Chains A and B, each alone.
Chain A
Amino acid sequence: MNAVAEPVPRAPVSRASTGRILVLIGRLALAAVFLVAAYAKLKPQVAMPWSTVSVKTSLAMFAMEVDSYQLLPPSYVSLVAHALPPFELFLGLWLLSGIAQRFSALASTLLIAGLFTVVVRTYALGLSINCGCFGPGEQLGTTTLLRDGSLLALSAAVTIGAFLLRRKQGEAASSAVVAPQRAE
């Protein structure tokens, strides 16, 4: 009877589970963002079926958008344009899978931080170009800055949360190992 009356330490457990849920929601949101971004860049830009040719055409079109940032020489433009959409696809799937989530979140933060820096630089220079973030057609402006800034904040929060959760899990695991020894 006495054991039943003992207070159960609920608060830390519920805080950890809330944290886990928030990290999960944030991670899934980031995964969706990257998958949509990759799809928008790889999909056929005109009415034609999906094929190697359609993907090559879409990537060549994306290369023009990368080039309009006036940041890279043409040879690097092609390299970035061909590497970024597949990497976004990979990152989206990685975030979705939840495998080593703190590292996938960190990769996401670094990528978004890099892209955000480029967008801010372009805006500051006053270049009137398409963002190319989610396929063609979107003019780079304050909306782009706000959206990318919010995504960066979200990704940073998910990364910090994922690392904190991992640390708590590590602490809990070590205390679970230590506790029986004390009991002995």
Chain B
Amino acid sequence: MKYEAQSWCGSNTLNRARARWAKSAAWPLILASVLVLGLIPHASARTTRSAAKATETIPAPIKAYGSKNAPITLEVFADYECPSCGNFYEETLRPMINDYVAAGKVYLVHCDFPLSMHKYGYEAARWANAAAIIGRFGEAEGALYGNQNYWAESGNIEKYMAAALSPTDLKRVEKLMDGCDMSVAPGSHTCPLDAYIEQDRALGSQIPVQATPTFVIYHKGQKFPAASGVVTWPVLKQFFDQLLSQ
């Protein structure tokens, strides 16, 4: 499966926001605000810098399948420990990846939205992000959803990642997981991967994501209203066919 570079969750939303920002006539005000804020010593500057440093030192995880130039983009906000997300992946996304994503019709983007009600969902998202950084997101996601029932009970995610990745890749992933122990609170600055998860969560909150899985479909630069729950592949395919026929 092909992993596109320079693609990230919410890129469509961000691009449109950028375009609107560029067109706005508020530039003098923005510049003035930046100058004023720059002069004020900020208490949280150190933590902001450390988070920014963390995201600078490691490349952004590519949690997507297919070509970015596909006519349809499907963004899925999911929690690896959520059973509905597991069903959605197995029954809908997996056949879609093999069919429409492989055919270049759909670009599938995964966005992390771990729910606080799930004990190991955030940790699983860290592993998936680490695997995505080294270009092994597909393997990691398949292993997480495929063995969801097991690691959701024991919390032993590493065991299933080890089975899905080669020893070399596992070592690279484990290195990226330094400071991301399960005892580390979600969103912590000690785990550089959390910045990416929080970025996805922030984008999800804008939609707003109220349950997982929630998915958003983009076609010809237009964003369709978000939908929640498990939709079967034949029904989703009918919708895509309707879009592709336009």
Contacts of B226 in A (CB 8 A): 136-137
Please give the distance in Å from B39's CB to the nearest CB on chain A. 42
A45 interface residue, CB < 8 Å from B?
yes
B84 interface residue, CB < 8 Å from A?
yes
A97 interface residue, CB < 8 Å from B?
no
B242 and A60 within 8 A (CB): yes
A137 and B225 within 8 A (CB): yes
Contacts of A130 in B (CB 8 A): 227-229
A47 interface residue, CB < 8 Å from B?
yes
How many B residues touch the partner, as a band?
20 to 34
A68 and B225 within 8 A (CB): no
Please give the distance in Å from A143's CB to the nearest CB on chain B. 12
A63 touching B228 in the complex, CB below 8 Å, given contacts A128-B212, A129-B211, A139-B211: no
Please give the distance in Å from A67's CB to the nearest CB on chain B. 4
Q: Is the interface of B mostly helix, strand, loop or mixed?
A: mixed
B84 and A128 within 8 A (CB): yes
Contacts of B228 in A (CB 8 A): 68, 128-130, 139
A46 touching B210 in the complex, CB below 8 Å, given contacts A64-B231, A70-B230: no
A57 interface residue, CB < 8 Å from B?
yes
A61 and B222 within 8 A (CB): no
A136 and B239 within 8 A (CB): no
Alpha-carbon separation in the docked complex, A61 to B236 (Å) = 9
Interface string of A56-83 (1 = CB under 8 A from B): 1100110111011110001001100000
Please give the distance in Å from A153's CB to the nearest CB on chain B. 27
B246 interface residue, CB < 8 Å from A?
yes
Write the chain B residue with the least CB distance to A126.
Answer: B84
Alpha-carbon separation in the docked complex, A44 to B68 (Å) = 26
Q: Is the interface of A mostly helix, strand, loop or mixed?
A: mixed
Alpha-carbon separation in the docked complex, A48 to B224 (Å) = 11
A46 and B231 within 8 A (CB): no
Query: For residues 137 through 164 of chain A, which have their beta carbon under 8 Å from a beta carbon of chain B?
Result: 137, 139
Interface centre among B222, B223, B228, B238 (most CB of A within 10 A): B228
How many contacting A-B pairs (Cβ < 8 A)? 72
A139 touching B222 in the complex, CB below 8 Å, given contacts A64-B231, A67-B232, A74-B232: no
A127 interface residue, CB < 8 Å from B?
yes
A53 interface residue, CB < 8 Å from B?
yes
B224 and A45 within 8 A (CB): yes
B227 and A64 within 8 A (CB): yes
B229 and A68 within 8 A (CB): yes
B242 and A57 within 8 A (CB): yes
Please give the distance in Å from B241's CB to the nearest CB on chain A. 8
Give which listed residue, A46, A56, A67, A69, contacts B223 with CB less than 8 A: A46
Interface centre among B212, B222, B231, B243 (most CB of A within 10 A): B231
Please give the distance in Å from B160's CB to the nearest CB on chain A. 25
Contacts of B230 in A (CB 8 A): 68, 70
Query: For residues 183 through 225 of chain B, which have their beta carbon under 8 Å from a beta carbon of chain A?
Result: 210-212, 219, 222-225
Give which listed residue, B219, B231, B238, contacts A78 with CB less than 8 A: B238
A-B contact pairs, 29 of them (CB 8 A): A45-B225, A46-B222, A47-B222, A48-B222, A57-B239, A60-B238, A61-B224, A63-B238, A64-B231, A64-B236, A64-B239, A67-B231, A67-B232, A67-B235, A68-B229, A68-B230, A69-B229, A74-B234, A78-B238, A128-B228, A129-B228, A130-B227, A130-B229, A136-B224, A136-B225, A136-B226, A139-B210, A139-B211, A139-B228
Q: Which residues of A contact B (CB under 8 A)?
A: 45-48, 53, 56-57, 60-61, 63-65, 67-70, 74, 77-78, 127-130, 135-137, 139
Q: Which residues of B contact A (CB under 8 A)?
A: 84, 210-212, 219, 222-232, 234-236, 238-239, 242-243, 246
